[in-house]
Amino acid sequence: MMNLVLIVGGILVLTIIIALVRVSSLISVARKEGTKVDKSSNRVNGALMLIFLIVSGIVTIWYSISTFDTYNLPLASEHGAVTDRLFWTTMAVTGFIFMLTNILLFYFSYRYQYNEERRAFFFPDNNKLEILWTVVPAIVLTLLVFSGLTAWHDITSKAPKDSEVIEIMGYQFAWATRYPGKDDKLGNYNYRLIDVENLFGLDFSDRNAHDDFMPRELHLPKGKPVLFKIRARDVIHSVFAPHFRLKMDAVPGMPTQFWFVPTKTTEEMRAETGNDEFNYEIACTEVCGRGHFTMRLLVIVDEPEDYEKWKAGQQPWLAKNPGYLSKIPKEMRELAMINAGISLDEK
Amino acid sequence: MATADIHIAEDIHHGDHHDQQQSFVTKYIFSQDHKTIAKQFLITGIFWALMGGLMSLVFRLQLGFPEATLEWLRPIFGGWITESGKLDPEFYLAMVTMHGTIMIFFVLTAGLSGTFSNFLIPLQIGARDMASGFMNMLSYWFFFLSSVVMFISLFIETGPASGGWVIYPPLSALPQAMSGSGLGMTMWLIAMVFFIVSTMLGGINYITTIINLRTRGMSFTRLPLTIWAFLLTATLALLSFPVLVAAVLLLIFDRSFGTSFYLSDIYIGGEALPNSGGSPILFQHLFWFLGHPEVYIVILPALGITSEIISTNSRKPIFGYMAMIGSLIAITLLSFVVWAHHMFVTGMNPFLGSVFVLLTFIIAVPSAVKVFNYLTTLWRGNIIFTPAMLFSIGLVSFFITGGVTGLFLGNAALDIQLHDTYFVVAHFHIVMGSAAFFGMVAGVYHWFPKMFGRMMDARLGYIHFWMSFVGIYSVFFPMHYIGIAGFPRRYYSFTNFDAFNSYTDLNALITIAAFITMAAQFIFLFNFFYSIFRGRKAPQNPWRSNTLEWTAPINPEHGNWPGEIPTVYRWPYDYSKPGAKEDFIPQNIPFSETSESNLPNETESIKLEGFDKKDAIVVDDTEE
Ligand code: HEM
Ligand SMILES: [Cu+2]
Ligand SMILES: [Cu+2]
């Protein structure tokens, strides 16, 4: 830390010195007449334009190539492949425009520096050129936009019928997940029923809720469509699963969703990245308060068989919190116990 | 135009009358002189830029050196530094929020438009002052009031607003959600309402003045591009800011009077709130209906300023004057219909998303046209690197670099991954933040001689430019990589995630670059304040420029021109005209005096010039 302070201090002191040096020269300049172009500084600035172009160009290209694996996130979803292809196509097209225009900008600045002998070329307009650079970008952008819209259309299309439905709910400052249980149906909820244990506000007068279970971490089957039902119960959060190229806001009062197909198990990803500790994660990307940066949810992608096995081993929430049985209408209680797999004599 | 003339005559009278009994207060504080008001906006803007800049250093320290102890900041921040010598995470968010709010609204809207619209409109169109000097004065003082409220909010116990500059509810609506959403948020909202009043008063004035008070001969097709940009900026502001007022009012109702415009189904702080039926997404629609035009409110004046500076210092007419106006108008119109590209992943209807993708891509076309026109203006020019010119070239580079990343974000399918990551931070800091900041600085260097009658030091200007230019690129370009790697924005720290556990080196580099960039701004500050008092005396027309302001006295009084206002005979970009004696012909030189360089149709128009003289019938040629 001290080092940083020293650096900063150093820079400030330097600044002051430069300033003071200039004070004296300013005074000497004060008497000179002045609309003449200062040739030497013009030349220096022109040269710096070119140097900036070359140096920054080299550094950018070198860094982009040599650290590719650091910024290119491994990919693990079907639609993500489309997204990535689109990303790199856009990169190629815009990268070309970016380089071309920046090169022209700095090169022209360097090349056409002031020269007393010369006059600038009086060239106020040219309709052909204007049309050219209206139409060409328009065509290029149209191509980009259509591949983009196709992808967007597919990604946001209706989830397949056989999707695994999983609910993710954001709250300050964690994620909670809910699986539909044996009946494959998520039970109703009502935010007024939320309490310290019943995070979701599950409504047990709905029989579908009896067998819902809520694990600490998210398990997903590889190769099967998964539909995230997303909501929040306090402020807006946003589900971001970077490796799946997935993001969707979690909004209180307005459930959202996102479906996708995971393509690699956690094990496979560990092998691919050579990192034994690799894990899929979900992060929050909508600022939600002091713990925003801690909202991590662990995601594990299993082979479908392992996934089914894991699911079968999960205990319904009601079974873990039998106290809530008392809140269920009497006539339903027995049914609830059967659905939740609570042995009837326990009670 | 005839009516305008009568007005002016009255104004002179008025002005004279005032001058005799002007006290310090009416001259420097409650002044109605557009030049003084411009300087008030500028100085206030500089103050806020300093505040906003220093705040960014604080949170950059946290991001670049998360291990470091910030104990030494305790004397300033007190309890916001935790026991262990770290920034409090909520304070981090407060800093980010205030940084964004200050930079976007107070520096790049009020500081930029307020300064240059005020200063340049009357001087460049040939008017004595704004249409209403009194409203103009009010405009500044509402801004001042807004500034005071916002400034005080920095010091209250619960801290200033902290939910991000976009203040999405429910976070901003519920004091239970974070401490900044308490009194700090209330003050934010009050400050913004004052701010909007200020912007409205200013905007109405700018538009009225440009339409009604142009001098003889100053038709719309002879207006400098700066004025076109200010006109369209004010129009944008006038049409979009009221929507923010509406959004803010509804938020105030939700916060204080128990309504449910934005709130529904909320359980927080151990209790279920009674609100139901509201939609947080409604707020986002309203906010971005202002928010997107706002980013153009910030950039258009900067583009206008650079058009002027690049043309002057390339000694060449701006290429495609009409196309430049056309693209400004196109951008203005289109910027009202792209707002939802900020909301692709809010769960809105995907079809609606598609529509906004298309519209967003259309707006990229006029932006591209502008860039190509700048490049052609430089081509075969005779370029003089004044500090203003350097900053203008830097602006064009930023506009390109930040513009191309817009094409990633505007493509909804890509935005799924990139939204709310550092990629967005890189995009808008380059295309908006840095570009508009450069436009503002370029404007200060260029018009300083007119403002203060003295020159700024060019060599310090060069140092300022190169440090800032390299510094800013070093700060924001690396953020693209961090964003592609998926790092979310507004994160206090990245150590909780395996996926975001890299790039500590790059983040440290960014922080160091930010400090260097900030240091460069102190050079500018020194140069600015020193030159006000001790700079070299300015010549009449230091940049050999064509526009009208350089025909006014070096230190213009209230009323700008002591005698008659000059008449305008030509467009402002007659630089290096073939045959002309000098490489520039100011707007007030009639074609009858430049027979050697006239184009055929210009020679013809000499016949009309006689009619322009004072007592003759005034020819209204605004129709072209
Ligand atoms: C080529 C033209 C441009 C396109 C296609 C474009 C597109 C976009 C899109 C889609 C976003 C939302 C990204 C996200 O949040 O995920 C965005 C953000 C932003 N853009 Fe642009 N943009 C363009 C030019 C500009 C310009 C000229 C400015 C300002 C002068 C600007 C300022 C901003 C700002 C401030 C944000 C971020 C706001 C925030 O979330 O805090 N953009 N842009
Ligand atoms: Cu969050
Ligand atoms: Cu936008």
DSSP B221-266: GGS-HHHHHHHHHHHHHHHHHHHHHHHHHHHHHHHHS---SS--S-
CATH number for position A193: 2.60.40.420
What are the chain A neighbours of B321 within 8 Å (beta carbons)? 124-125
Cα–Cα distance measured from residue B183 to residue B160, given in angstroms and rounded to the nearest whole number? 8
- Running DSSP on this structure, what letter comes out for residue A82? H
Q: What is the pLDDT at residue B608?
A: 76
In angstroms, how far is the first alpha carbon of chain B from the final one?
14
> Distance (Å, rounded) from C-alpha B370 to C-alpha B380?
18
The C-alpha angle B351, B488, B283, rounded to 5 degrees, equals 50
> Which B residues in the span 186-245 are in contact with A, Cβ-Cβ below 8 Å?
none
Alpha carbon of A347 to ligand 2 centroid (Å) = 41
Cβ contact, residue pair B268, A30, below 8 Å: no
How confident is the model at residue B9, as a pLDDT?
A: 41
**Is A314 part of a structural domain of the chain?**
yes
Cα-based angle A296, A281, A305 (whole degrees, multiple of 5): 125
> Nearest Cβ partner of B264 from A46, A73, A252?
A252
Q: Record the tokens describing residue B481, joined without a space.
A: 């990589």
Identify whether A235 is part of a domain: yes
Alpha-carbon gap, residue B563 to B561, rounded angstroms: 6
DSSP 8-class letter at B29: I
Full domain range(s) for residue A341: 164-346
A142: in domain:
no
What's the confidence (pLDDT) of residue B14? 44
- Cβ–Cβ gap A32/B462 under 8 Å: no
What's the A284 CA to ligand 2 centre distance in angstroms? 4
Strand partners, A77: A262
Q: Of B178, B173, B157, B172, which Cα lies nearest the Cα of B90?
A: B178
Quick one: pLDDT at residue A322?
87
Q: Are B501 and B57 in contact (CB under 8 A)?
A: no
Q: Note whether residue A44 is domain-resident.
A: no
SS3 of A188-221: the string is CECHHHCCCCCCCCECCCCHHHCCCECCCCEEEE
Asked if B41 and B111 count as a contact pair (C-beta separation under 8 A), the reply is: yes
Domains identified in chain A, total number: 1
Can you give the pTM of this predicted structure?
0.93
Residue A333 belongs to a domain: yes
Q: Do A60 and B477 touch (CB under 8 A)?
A: yes
Residue B536, classed as helix, strand or coil, is coil
| Nearest by CB: B372 against A95, A133, A283 | A133
Which residue, B266, B256, B107, is CA-closest to B189?
A: B256
Tell me the per-residue pLDDT of A191-212, one tens digit each, with 9 for 90 and over.
999 999 899 999 988 989 989 9
DSSP secondary structure string for all residues of B491-508: -S-STT-STT---HHHHH
Question: CA triplet B368, B372, B374: central angle to 5 degrees?
Answer: 115
Q: Which CATH architecture has domain B36-265+273-534?
A: Up-down Bundle (1.20)
Report yes or no for ipTM above 0.90: yes
Would you tell me how many other CB atoms lie within 10 Å of the CB of residue A261? 19
Give chain B's residues under pLDDT 50: 1-20, 612, 614-624
Taking CA atoms, B54 is separated from A56, A335, B87, in Å, by 27, 63, 15
- The verdict on A254 touching B (C-beta cutoff 8 Å) is yes
Average pLDDT on A306-311 reads: 95
In angstroms, what CA-CA distances link B420 with B100, B427, B483? 15, 11, 9
Interface probe, candidates A40, A75, A247, chain B, greatest B C-beta count within 10 A: A247
d(CA B118, CA B202): 8
Contact B378 A105 (CB under 8 A): yes
Q: How many CB atoms lie within 10 A of CB B358?
A: 18
Q: Which helix (H) or strand (E) segment is A273 a member of?
A: helix A266-273
**Secondary structure (3-state) at B178:** coil
Of all residues in chain A, the percent with pLDDT exceeding 90 is 73
Tell me the pLDDT band of A3, cut-offs 50, 70 and 90.
Answer: low
- Segments making up each domain of chain B, as ranges: 36-265+273-534, 553-623
